[in-house]
A = this chain, B = another copy of it.
Amino acid sequence: MPTGIPATALQLRSLVRADQMVELFLETVEVPEPGPGEVVVRVEAAPINPSDLGLLLAGADVSAAVASGPADRPVVTAPLPDAAMRAMRARVGVPLPVGNEGAGTVVAAGSSAAARALLGKMVAVAGGAMYAQYRCADAALCLELPEGTAAADGASSFVNPMTVLGMVETMRREGHAALVHTAAASNLGQMLNRLCIAEQIPLVSIVRRPEHEELLRSAGATHVCNSTSPAFTDELTAALTATAATLAFDATGGGRLASQILTGMEAVASAAAASYSRYGSTVHKQVYIYGSLDRGPTELTRNFGMAWGVGGWLLTPFLQQIGPEAVARLRRRVAAELTTTFASSYTDQVSLAGALQPGTIAAYARQATGSKYLIIPSR
């Protein structure tokens, strides 16, 4: 191992215990020698995404989280509700590393040409276990970032950028011409807004707060609806009429929002139909649920005809479906537009230990729009 790389380093772990508690702690792990095709990345920035929270918190009641241990090596425990415990059976007793993505400098490389070519470069990695000081990774999984890219700018170069590109790709592959997006003022929503403007794709953004309407409009969004507004149904119908959107990506999951969107799409399709049909319009209307900000049940009132679908949407199987060449093309685009179309912003930066403070956990567990944390493992 080259000089300057320690033999051991810290890695964040999440453990579901048999006593129905989640335990979060920092483990000292060996920094491995890279295999021939591998590199060792010094992780310099890793975001806490909503998609990390399921693995990290396991559904624990974070309002009851308790910290113990020294400030630089805290151990946090929080109780698991019964339903979450049932869902987590397969994890009991196995301390799991966490962190879908991050960026950092390649500080050691295996013998292959691909690995050696990355030495000293800033790369983005998406492969789990990124809440760590060092991460050994397959060189093929590393995205080389343009020279001079700051780690903080490259940290979120996979999950959100590939998700918004995946949404647009799904739209095209399934024959739709416009999009609806909920929780639309999130980092991801702002990114989708920039991408849709760049690609001239009509987008309906649904938010819940007036300041988020403003935020998106000032970023150039044309169709922004507030679901808490008394005029929401009319505003949504007007936006759906203007855009002819028949595909929505919903980050909330629970409640009636997906159903309201389908109802609005059907109202537009029926108004355009030549004749009455008791089965509703023949226009296929689709909502993909890709998040679960509202963990309650999805309620579908089914007053939107018979040509509709609701389903789960997940990035990884989508990328498997489109194949490695298409994925590589999308990733190159992300690297090239990392500080423009695919830029992220963060509320705060924390150390690994800082990410385990109960107050900080409560803040990121809320998944409030506009609140996003970046872990800086070297701190």
Contacts and interface: CB of A to CB of B under 8 A. Distances in A.
Interface in A249-280: 253-254, 256, 259, 270, 276, 278-279
A182 B259 CA distance: 23
Contacts of A278: 54-55
A90 interface: yes
B308 A302 contact: no
Contact of A87 (B292, B303, B306, B308): B303
A256 B94 CA distance: 33
Given A289-B302, A298-B300, A312 B317 contact: no
A210 interface: no
A365 to B, nearest CB: 15
A30 B316 CA distance: 62
A306 B313 CA distance: 6
A305 interface: yes
A83 B302 CA distance: 13
A200 to B, nearest CB: 29
A310 B285 CA distance: 12
A120 interface: no
A311 interface: yes
A360 B311 CA distance: 40
A175 to B, nearest CB: 13
Contacts of A302: 253-254, 289, 292, 297-298, 312
A301 B310 contact: no
A289 to B, nearest CB: 7
Interface residues of A, number: 38
Interface string A286-324: 000110100001111111011111111110110000000
A91 interface: yes
Contacts of A229: none
A228 interface: no
A282 interface: yes
A256 B296 CA distance: 13
A309 B308 contact: no
Contacts of A292: 302
Contact of A314 (B299, B307, B313, B317): B307
Q: Which of A54, A289, A307, A310 has its CB near the most chain B CB atoms (within 10 A)? A: A310
Contacts of A54: 278-279
B310 A317 contact: no
A54 B254 CA distance: 29
Interface of A: 54-55, 83, 87, 90-91, 94, 253-254, 256, 259, 270, 276, 278-279, 282, 289-290, 292, 297-303, 305-314, 316-317
25 contacts: A54-B278, A54-B279, A90-B270, A94-B276, A254-B302, A256-B297, A259-B297, A282-B317, A289-B302, A292-B302, A298-B299, A298-B300, A298-B302, A299-B299, A302-B312, A306-B313, A306-B314, A306-B317, A307-B314, A307-B317, A308-B312, A309-B310, A309-B312, A310-B311, A311-B311
Across the A-B interface, the 3 shortest Cβ-Cβ residue pairs: A309-B311, A306-B312, A90-B276
